[in-house]
A = this chain, B = another copy of it.
Amino acid sequence: MTSTDISNQPSLLRRLISGDAQQKLLAFASLVLLLIGFSIASPNFMQVSNIIAILQASSVNGVLAIAATLVIITGGIDLSVGTMMTFCAVIAGVVLTYAGLPLPFGILAAILAGAFCGLCSGTLVAKLKIPPFIATLGMMLILKGLSLVISGTRPIYFNETAGFDLISRGSIIGYFFPSLPIPNGVLILFLVAISVSYILSRTVLGRYCFALGSNEESVRLSGVNTDRWKMAIYALSGAIVGIGGLLIASRLNSAQPALGLGYELEAIAAVVIGGTSLSGGRGTILGTLIGALIMAVLINGLRILSVAQEWQTVVTGVIIILAVYADMMRRRKSG
């Protein structure tokens, strides 16, 4: 490193403090701030059972937000996560309840269905060059309609499949540590987060994810088959949505074909609150996770305080803006 001279040393130190580590620390700080605020405001807030409830409430949105993060880092956007989740749940229902196959098939089917839907969106975006907003808007409508068609506009119950509801509601952790009854849904959220985090930071797929969002044309001109990678990323994102579909189906012990619309905005909001840029090229899963938790804490806290629902909405809007503003300020300061 001949070109690194003495003047760089403070910068290395500063990078350590002001870099990613600090960023996440601070996003985390605004989450902690919320937690402290609500704890003071209501004695009922800081109970183990309520914290677990918050974690569980964030599990579906968190998984969807992680899926959306992948697509957003490539510079795209995914409006279909909500109805795709429903579609995957319905597919699981068809496989398990209608066809009566055993549990693993249902799990596989949901994840594959998601991957396939993601691949479709990815093909529309990469091959047909349809803007991601439109491609996923179209997919959102198509999947909404197909969920209704396939399910016969009826919820599909999983009463026949023993153990299906344990996917989200059971607690492996609680089995081993009875004082910590963290539901599997939350465990799955964290496992998904860790895996995707690893993929993003350590694998080729992750590298291309960032590179595509940063400057797709330069990646293409580097001889990379950008279309194929983009499709792969969308498919991976879809598979994660499939996991989200399993989580919600397990929690409701049924596939509700009408559900899902509006979940996409919530997922994207979590992503952006977590510091991922909608213009692509930047983002972290840890941020997204914190974003999803901030939203879950906020809504739970306001409900526990029995704030009138119309005011809950107003306060949520204000706090989302404030959270992102705080993040902006900090980043501008740290360069």
Contacts and interface: CB of A to CB of B under 8 A. Distances in A.
A134 interface: yes
Contacts of A149: 310-311, 314
A55 to B, nearest CB: 23
A312 B134 CA distance: 17
Interface in A30-67: none
Contacts of A233: none
B324 A130 contact: yes
Interface in A297-335: 309-318, 320-321, 324-325, 328, 332
Nearest to A315: B145
A138 interface: yes
A290 B141 CA distance: 20
Contacts of A314: 141-142, 145-146, 149
A272 B134 contact: yes
A301 to B, nearest CB: 16
Interface stretch (A169-177, A197-205, A261-269): A261-269
Contacts of A153: 310
Nearest to A258: B310
Taken together, the copies of this chain in the complex come to: 2
Contacts of A129: 328, 332
Interface of A is mostly: helix
Contacts of A167: none
Interface in A129-147: 129-131, 133-135, 137-146
Which of under 10, 10 to 19, 20 to 34, or 35 or more describes the interface residues of A?
35 or more
A320 to B, nearest CB: 5
A145 B134 CA distance: 29
Contact of A128 (B140, B278, B311, B328): B328
Contact of A134 (B131, B311, B321): B321
A187 interface: no
A124 interface: yes
Interface in A231-281: 261-262, 265, 268-269, 272-273, 277-278
A140 B266 CA distance: 12
Nearest to A152: B310
Contact of A317 (B133, B142, B320, B328): B142
Given A141-B317, A318-B142, A134 B310 contact: no
A146 B142 CA distance: 33
B317 A140 contact: yes
A79 interface: yes
Interface in A60-79: 79
B262 A130 contact: no
Nearest to A322: B138
A148 interface: yes
A183 to B, nearest CB: 28
Nearest to A124: B321
9 contacts: A134-B324, A140-B317, A141-B313, A141-B320, A145-B313, A146-B310, A148-B313, A149-B310, A261-B262
Given A133-B268, A133-B272, A261-B262, 5 more contacts: A130-B325, A137-B269, A144-B317, A145-B312, A149-B310
Q: Which 5 A-B pairs have the closest CB atoms?
A: A141-B317, A145-B314, A145-B313, A148-B310, A142-B317
